[in-house]
Amino acid sequence: MSSGGVGSSNGTSPSGSSRSDAHTSKQAKAISDAIDKSLRAEKEQRQKERGAKLLILGPSETGKTTVLKQLKLLYGRKGLDAERQTYRRVVHLNVMKAIQTLCNGLRQSGLALERPENEVHLETVSRLETTLRRYSITSIGFANPAIPRKITDAKAETDMFYEMVPAINALWADRSIQAIFQNASKLNLQDSAKYFLDSIDRLADPNYVPTDDDILQARVRTLAVTEHVFMIDNVTYKIYDVGGQKSLRKYWAPYFDDVNAIIFMVALSAYDQPCEDDERLNRLQECIMLFNSIANHKLFENTAIILFLNKIDVFQKKLEAGIPVVRYFPDFRGPNNYAATTLYFQSKFLEQCKDTQKQVYTHFTHATDTNQMRVIVVAVNVIVQRLNLRNSGLL
Ligand SMILES: Nc1nc2c(ncn2[C@@H]2O[C@H](COP(=O)(O)OP(=O)(O)OP(=O)(O)O)[C@@H](O)[C@H]2O)c(=O)[nH]1
Ligand SMILES: [Mg+2]
């Protein structure tokens, strides 16, 4: 193609002076465009430098700290290395707590052990119960200076763990304990119980060092709000992880100003579980109420809300085990399969937003799966960046 009519001479060509006017105005436009472009680039750069503030909110045990651990693995300089040794204790405490919860479940059910010779192990677990309670996992004191850590605790805990290992092995293999495990919804058993109990020999090795997966599965309640800084695609993110227990939610509000995005975590698998501190309240129902108060909060009018409907692996297992959603959510209509139930829960959350224009970005997540989280974090970053540009008039 030729350069067309520009500067060509034909019957309708402009006179000499109007041609130069056109040229000048074209030049002016080019200059103005270049200035606009550079201003925009500068503004975009400033926006990136200012970074983004992101809160991870949601009830307890929904996977907030797990998402943070994934961010450390994916974007942190040292991954989870700084915490690896501390998590050895957490894992040991988690596995002791898990067997203890199952033994308590057995006692409440009135079921007898499959093997009467395991009675002695039941006694060991019960004898160590009070001591174990003293070493509550929160006392490990991650970023929690309010709770001093006693040096001597570590050795006492390790000794107790080794004393309990034969009991854990024998009881976990007992069919009655397995039956309790299959019906553990009301026991407040942690999701990683099976993962750790199945690996007891590896965990009992004197040279045991937790793997990344062990750390992702391990559970420590978050007590204090913690701030973490990550660079994701050249944008500095300040990310806040909060404690989700009801009594800790009053500490969230001071962090509510100038928030670019919220990841709201939901444990979909909690649909058949009661709240830890209120037996009469369904855990997922309580989570929906909390989402309502966050999604409609006036400080979050311009904040991107990203909903992580998490623990889909456990959720799916519960559906496969035939635990009906309709028993806990009587307005659910449809088959008890993954497609119908996830659609139902997603709309249940989305309908909480009073502002019907408000965009809520939903992801179905498995937070302990690093491969899945890698993809989701990239998608979240794209959303946050796009909304930031839009809010600052750049889109
Ligand atoms: N199976 C499975 N377990 C998960 C998933 N997400 C988190 N978990 C486990 O759930 C437990 C609780 O996760 P956390 O990340 O500690 O929960 P939290 O929301 O930070 O809880 P608080 O600090 O008490 O508010 C841990 O044992 C995690 O390994 C998931 O998608 N699937
Ligand atoms: Mg936490």
Q: In the prediction, which pLDDT does 15 show?
A: 53
Q: For residue 46, how far is the Cα from the chain centroid?
A: 29
Is 10 inside any structural domain?
no
| Residue 241 annotated as catalytic | yes
- Rounded CA-CA distance 299/256 in Å is 7
> Are 228 and 368 in a shared domain?
yes
Question: Of 185, 217, 249, which closes a domain?
Answer: 217
Looking at the fold, whether 236 and 276 belong to one and the same domain comes out as yes
Do 64 and 133 belong together in one domain? no
Report how far ligand 2's centroid is from the alpha carbon of 146 (Å). Answer: 16
Ligand 1 probe mutation, 198, 318, 368, 376, most atoms within 8 A of CB: 368
Structure tokens at 186: 């009301």
The last residue of one of the domains, among 158, 184, 217, is: 217
Final residue before a domain boundary, out of 198, 217, 236? 217
pLDDT digits 0-9 by tens, 97-109: 999 999 999 999 9
For residues 145 and 164, state if they share a domain. yes
Residue-level pLDDT at 47: 64
Are 254 and 195 members of one domain? no
* Domain presence at residue 17: no
Domain, as residue range, for 208? 83-217
Q: Whose CA is closest to 55, among 348, 220, 297?
A: 297
Q: Are 76 and 179 part of one and the same domain?
A: no
26 assigned to some structural domain = no
Confidence at residue 150, expressed as pLDDT on a 0 to 100 scale: 47
If asked whether residues 341 and 287 sit together in one domain, one would say yes
Using CA positions, which residue lies closest to atom 32 of ligand 1? 311
Q: What is the CATH number of the domain that holds 299?
A: 3.40.50.300
SS3 62: coil
Q: Give catalytic status of residue 212 as yes or no.
A: no
Asked whether residue 371 is assigned to any structural domain, the reply reads: yes
pLDDT over 90 for what percent of the chain? Answer: 69
The pLDDT score that the predictor gives to residue 9 is 36
Query: 148 and 210 share a domain?
Result: yes
Query: What's the total number of domains in the chain?
Result: 2
Residues 121 and 255 in one domain: no
In tens digits, what is the pLDDT along the chain, a chain of 395 residues?
Answer: 333 333 333 334 445 566 677 788 888 888 888 888 888 777 666 666 678 999 999 999 999 999 999 999 999 989 999 999 889 989 999 999 999 999 999 999 999 999 999 999 999 998 888 777 766 554 444 544 444 444 446 677 788 899 999 999 999 999 999 999 998 888 989 999 999 999 999 999 999 999 999 999 999 999 999 999 999 888 899 999 999 999 999 999 999 999 999 999 999 999 999 998 888 999 999 999 999 999 999 999 989 999 999 999 999 999 999 999 999 999 999 999 999 999 999 999 999 999 988 889 999 999 999 999 999 999 999 998 888 777 766 55
> Is 56 among the domain residues?
yes
pTM given for the model: 0.85
Residue 278 within a domain = yes
Cβ-proximal residues to 357 (8 Å cutoff; 6+ apart), any chain: none
Tell me if 190 CB under 6 Å of ligand 1. Answer: yes
Domain CATH for 128 = 1.10.400.10
Same domain for 242 and 167: no
* Alpha carbons 72 and 232: distance in angstroms, whole number: 11
Distance spanning both ends of the chain, measured CA to CA = 33
Instruction: Return the pLDDT at 153.
Output: 65
pLDDT at residue 137, as a whole number: 52
Q: Which of 158, 245, 285, 316 is catalytic?
A: 245
Which ranges of the chain would DSSP assign to H, the alpha helix? 16-50, 64-75, 84-109, 119-127, 129-134, 151-172, 175-182, 193-197, 200-203, 212-217, 283-295, 312-320, 325-328, 338-350, 370-391
Residue 39 maps to a domain: no
- Amino acid 257: pLDDT: 94
257 is catalytic: no
Looking at the fold, whether 235 and 305 belong to one and the same domain comes out as yes
Beta bridge partners of 265: 308
Residue 390 within a domain: no
Pair (149, 174) in one structural domain: yes
